[in-house]
Amino acid sequence: MKIKGSKAYQEFVKARSRAFGEHFDEFVQSRDLDIDDKYWSEQDKADFNVGFDALLAEWALRKAELLAAEEAAQNGES
């Protein structure tokens, strides 16, 4: 799949995807869970979502910073 955007944005999307995949894999392995969350306890689901929400917030901030830097570069700012 082709990712639209600058080279930096394309790399950002790839890194974000890896981070989310790693988060899932590490969580599942650390608790010896099935990869299908329908077999998880409600507590496991809640714990996963806490980490997932933190990851979402972190990557949303990184995206905003990247887009702001790219916009500044397009406008000739440093």
Higher pLDDT, 39 or 71: 39
Locate the domains of the chain by residue range.
41-71
Distance of CA 4 to the CA centre of its chain: 17
pLDDT > 80? residue 2: no
Asked if 34 contacts 40 with a C-beta cutoff of 8 angstroms, the reply is: yes
Give tens-digit pLDDT for 5-23. 889 999 999 999 999 999 9
Higher pLDDT, 3 or 66: 66
Please give the model's pTM, rounded to 2 decimal places. 0.82
- Torsion from C-alpha of 14, 28, 59, 2, nearest 10 degrees: 20
Tell me if residue 55 falls in helix, strand or coil. Answer: helix
Q: Which residues contact 15 (CB under 8 A, 6 or more apart)?
A: none
**CA gap 44, 38 in Å, rounded:** 11
